[in-house]
């Protein structure tokens, strides 16, 4: 059995608490946390039995963690990850990678120089339905992908009632529907059918009370030979997250909510439904934690690397710029 790794979670708000809880559930780590809010720091450390709770990153890094999970607002991700890398710690960075590309290449270079692992927490890569469908598409079983259509919605007042008070209410902290949720779908779409080369977008604030950022997004993409369409809202009355990939020899539809995927290859045949094992939301984050720890231990590699997170970040920024300038944007790589 491998020796337990020391993992530091920086920022223990909603997603940081989930990371801490799910790393703890792997049974493979000794945990510490860093949180500037004293009430939150005390509550989380007490609830999860964390003995080492720090109020600043310098002191937390002086404890020599093997790995650091960055779960602070997005504008802090790169500087904090750089501090961790300079201290010799592997890094897992919550999405989006940042709110600009500034400093990202320097972080990538530092991680390579130190021989460390760096990854971005796009957790959809751990959803079995998406994994199975991707493997089937990549095998050539359905021919070549030519179209991807993504259609998503969720009721924020029900599922994330604190949206007004957290990072979500400001683009500068990684907020708005583009950087908060659409970034997951863009990253998944690129993982399925290849990187986005250019896009044009529209978004608006339609329903959510108490914020001014966009809650509705429509995007058209070109991804090599694949045409794409991505839509998302954050107020509809039923969770939905569907990804359809039309190929030259069949159609695949991934249902992220029901954790299944279906396919057809003949025009008149019924849908073939491939059901995955039922899973709670934490299960995907536990799987993500285990994969990251496997990378740290040298058992696997190249899972959600920072380079891929940078590509998705460029797409996020291109969407914002497309709406500002009302025109197509090319993704520079």
Output the pLDDT for position 281: 87
Could you give the CA distance from residue 230 to residue 311 in angstroms, rounded to a whole number? 17
Output the pLDDT for position 9: 98
Listed as ranges, residues in the chain with pLDDT below 50 are none
Q: Report the chain's mean pLDDT, rounded to a whole number.
A: 96
The 3-state DSSP class for residue 61 equals helix
Angstrom CA distances, 100 to 103, 166, 270, 272, stand at: 8, 19, 46, 42
pLDDT tens readout for residues 160-173: 998 998 999 999 99
- The DSSP symbol for 276 reads P
Sheet order of strands, 240-247 included? 272-275, 260-264, 250-255, 240-247, 145-153, 226-233, 216-223, 198-204, 329-330
Give yes or no for a contact between 250 and 139, defined as CB atoms under 8 angstroms apart.
no
pLDDT tens readout for residues 211-265: 999 999 999 999 999 999 999 999 999 999 999 999 999 999 999 999 999 999 9
Output the pLDDT for position 2: 64
């Amino acid at each position: 059995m491998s020796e337990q790794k020391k993992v530091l979670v920086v920022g223990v708000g909603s997603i940081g608490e989930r990371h801490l809880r799910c790393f703890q559930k792997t049974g493979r780590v000794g945990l510490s946390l860093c949180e500037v809010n004293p009430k939150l720091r005390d509550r989380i450390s007490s609830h999860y039995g964390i003995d080492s709770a720090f109020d600043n990153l310098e002191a937390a890094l002086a404890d020599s963690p093997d790995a650091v999970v960055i779960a602070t607002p997005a504008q802090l991700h790169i500087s904090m990850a750089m501090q961790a890398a300079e201290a010799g710690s592997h890094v897992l960075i919550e999405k989006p990678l940042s709110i600009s590309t500034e400093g990202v290449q320097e972080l990538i270079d530092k991680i390579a120089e130190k021989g460390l692992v760096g990854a971005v927490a796009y957790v959809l890569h751990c959803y079995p339905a998406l994994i199975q469908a991707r493997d089937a598409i990549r095998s050539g079983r359905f021919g070549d992908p030519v179209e991807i259509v993504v259609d998503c919605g969720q009721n924020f007042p029900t599922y994330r009632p604190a949206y007004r008070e957290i990072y979500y209410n400001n683009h500068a902290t990684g907020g708005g529907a583009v950087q908060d949720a659409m970034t997951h779908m863009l990253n998944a779409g690129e993982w399925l059918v290849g990187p986005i080369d250019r896009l044009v977008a529209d978004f608006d604030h339609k329903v959510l009370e108490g914020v001014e950022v966009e809650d509705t997004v429509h995007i058209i993409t070109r991804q090599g030979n694949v045409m794409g369409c991505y839509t998302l809202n954050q107020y509809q009355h039923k969770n939905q997250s569907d990804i359809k990939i039309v190929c030259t020899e069949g159609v695949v539809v991934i249902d992220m909510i029901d954790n299944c995927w279906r396919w057809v290859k003949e025009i008149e045949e019924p849908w073939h439904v491939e059901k995955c094992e039922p899973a709670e939301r934490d299960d995907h984050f536990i799987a993500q934690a285990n994969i990251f720890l496997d990378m740290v231990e040298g058992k696997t590699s190249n899972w959600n690397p920072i380079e891929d997170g940078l590509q998705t970040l460029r797409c996020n920024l291109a969407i914002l710029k497309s709406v500002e300038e009302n025109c197509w944007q090319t993704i520079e790589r």
